[in-house]
Structure 1
Amino acid sequence: MATFDNTITNLTNFSDLYCPFQEDFKYILLPVSYSLVFVIGLALNTTALYVIVFRTKRWKPSTIYMFNLTMCDTLYILTLPFLIYYYADENDWPFSEPFCKIIRFLFYANLYGSILFLCCISLHRFVGICYPVRSLNWVSARQAKLVSVAVWACVLFCQAPILYFSRTRDVENERICYDTTSPELFDDFLVYSTAVSVLMFALPFMVVMVCYGLMVRKLLEPGWGSEGGSLGAQRTKQKSVKMIIIVLAVFMLCFLPFHLTRSLYYSFRYLRQVDSTQISCRLLEASSVAYKVTRPLASANSCVDPILYFLAGHDARSTLSKKKPSSSKSRRVGRTLTTEL
């Protein structure tokens, strides 16, 4: 009798801590959205790689950053078919645990690599527009290569713990490939995930916002790009400002909702484990649904990067090529910026 009572108590405690979710929607949402990202993103990024590798004679700093960003997006996209199959088969991982670790590692490494290279591109353009003379000494292809190596090293180092946290577990007749980690390691994973979100998303996001804000203010100055009263230069300047706003908006729409909802879900899950009375099952389920809905938004960024940044580069070149410097030094600055941005 005592054993039966203990069993009932354990089951009750388990149900208090772990809430059963109705998440059948993700078995349609994630495979469909990831499939669209795979098809569209692969076509756009392979085209971008072809143009950069085979059609670009001289690699400028912006070309180097764009190449690395495109590589991140392409490698990220190549992990999607395995996740499409996994979620379409309703969380039944058909491969080994080491392969689960590799897929999760590549997924997040290339996601955060894209964020950091977006930050590098933003900094590069910020320096070129706001400090055109100084940028002659600050920006070079060699420096861009060193920065790119540093970014890859940072990404690989910071994402290496994923290889430890990612696990598989057999539940009934299915094998789960955890997106986070096994329940017994979740507390440690929460600390790691929080640190990564701050270092590899929050800080780069703040840098991007500051850079674009200062760039917009600079471009909106009355004398910028309007020497000689050129109507075409003024229109191009306005178009450049709009492009900066669009890029910033896309960054916010793709990555910000994903990280906010994920942080909320992880926090609610932790609080639920500490004290089940703090967070209701309904609130925990709502945060989980929001997190899964925003995951395709983060993936969609790999489709937008080639389009927006090629357009932004074209706009910057058009704008600066129509400027009329009044001295030999300003002409040299204009020519450099026209080719570098």
Structure 2
Amino acid sequence: MTTFYNNTNPSNGSGYYCKFNEEFKYILLPVSYALVFFIGLALNATALYVIVFRTKRWKPSTIYMFNLSMCDTLYVLTLPFLIYYYADENDWPFGEPFCKVIRFLFYTNLYGSILFMSCISLHRFVGICYPVRSLYWLSARRARLISVAVWACILFCQAPILYFSRIRDVKGGRTCYDTTSPELFDDFLVYSSIVSVLMFALPFMVVMVCYGLMVRKLLEPGWASGGGEEGERGGLSAQRSKQKSVKMIIIVLAAFMLCFLPFHLTRSLYYSFRYLQQINPAQVSCNLLEASSVAYKVTRPLASANSCLDPILYFLAGQDARSNLTKKVKSSTSKQSCASQHLTTQL
């Protein structure tokens, strides 16, 4: 049972408050986070292995995918602590400093995934729509500089989480706030709104515009045509590039529409209703506040599931990744076959 007060000092027993049942999250969040942890860790570890050990030449897209995989890996590594916390029904045993670190890493890598997916989308957009200019703009050196700038932006924007994240002893346990303590909620709402606009809404709009222009370019009749033998080779290369672009568009849009958009919409609604009820309890009923809270908590696992989608983006949209992984599998199979033949000969 969760109690929500509209004043900053609920211990005095005054003020309007709501009570609603959130027992479902003690099953939903641990189970969903556990699935994301095991699946996401396996997929991202495989992606990192292929990038680091099986990729000889790092292209700009490889650099962005490496950073994206790092974000996802660091993100899923925070989940075991949250699994324990929610399975133990909101009883945080690790202390306030570690609560701050976990919340900071959780949101840092969540928004890192959004920004690096946007970088991958912009990279493909320039290559498709401005192929001549891409020869100058799409270099590995520029990709590294952009990646450093993205990390700096993420760390700067998420640093206030280290201030807002708090723990508080409540009846039955110790809460590690997903938002902040009640007395700081108004300030947190302003901060959260700014971050949502800068690190989700703006990248989402940029990605949508880029994909709209990419689709229009890919649908042009003469985009992949050419004459003669050289033209045929160029046409095949363009066709492969087109297929990779279409796969990337589908996966990235799925991640934004299924994972990030519901999470940010329901969170914004919940925060807004909570703020409005603090100002004037008559404006927002407890039932409406409870419904928005339930919707927000249901969509949190969807945001986490993005960590499982990102490696699929790498393996499906990257021909080099598939070929490197295939070579590794064939090499292992060949070694096993040779060992078996050698053993048979000796026997």
TM-score (norm 1): 0.85
Structure 1 counterpart of 2:261, from 256, 272, 286: 256
Contact kept? 1:240, 1:316, Cα under 8 Å: no
Q: Deviations over 1:164-223 (max 9, x none)?
A: 000000012310000000000000000000000000101011111111111111111111
1:140 & 1:240 partners in 2: Cα distance?
A: 19
Q: Mind listing any 5+ residue stretches in structure 1 that lack a counterpart?
A: 1-9, 319-341
Change (3 A) 1:232 1:145: closer
Q: In the TM superposition, what are the counterparts of 1:319-338 in structure 2 within 5 Å?
A: none
Q: Which amino acid aligns with 2:290?
A: E
Q: Mind listing any 5+ residue stretches in structure 2 that lack a counterpart?
A: 1-11, 324-347
Contact kept? 2:100, 2:165, Cα under 8 Å: yes
Q: In the TM superposition, what are the counterparts of 1:1-150 in structure 2 within 5 Å?
A: 11=13, 13-14=14-15, 16=16, 18-150=17-149
Which residue matches 1:196?
A: 195
Q: Which amino acid aligns with 2:56?
A: K
Contact kept? 1:239, 1:315, Cα under 8 Å: no
Q: Give the C-alpha shift of residue 234 in structure 1.
A: 8.9
Q: Which amino acid aligns with 2:286?
A: C
Q: Deviations over 1:100-154 (max 9, x none)?
A: 0000000000000111101111111100010001111111111111110011111
Does 169-178 or 38-47 show the bigger shift? 169-178
TM-score (norm 2): 0.84
Which residue matches 2:309?
A: 304
State the percentage of identical aligned residues.
84
Contact kept? 2:224, 2:239, Cα under 8 Å: no
2:93 & 2:321 partners in 1: Cα distance?
A: 48
SS of 2:27's equivalent in the other structure is helix
Aligned residue pairs total 306
Which residue matches 1:219?
A: 218
SS of 2:224's equivalent in the other structure is coil
4+ runs deviating over 4 angstroms: 228-236, 315-318
Contact kept? 1:93, 1:174, Cα under 8 Å: yes
Q: Which amino acid aligns with 1:256?
A: L
2:126 & 2:118 partners in 1: Cα distance?
A: 12
Contact kept? 2:180, 2:188, Cα under 8 Å: yes
Question: In angstroms, what is the RMSD of aligned CA positions?
Answer: 2.1
Q: Give the C-alpha shift of residue 242 in structure 1.
A: 5.2
Does 238-247 or 286-295 show the bigger shift? 238-247
Which residue matches 1:161?
A: 160
Q: Which amino acid aligns with 1:258?
A: F
Which residue matches 1:338?
A: none
2:89 & 2:173 partners in 1: Cα distance?
A: 9
Change (3 A) 1:51 1:246: closer
1:94 & 1:238 partners in 2: Cα distance?
A: 49
Q: Give the C-alpha shift of residue 270 in structure 1.
A: 0.1
Contact kept? 1:68, 1:148, Cα under 8 Å: yes
Q: Give the C-alpha shift of residue 306 in structure 1.
A: 0.8
Which residue matches 1:327?
A: none
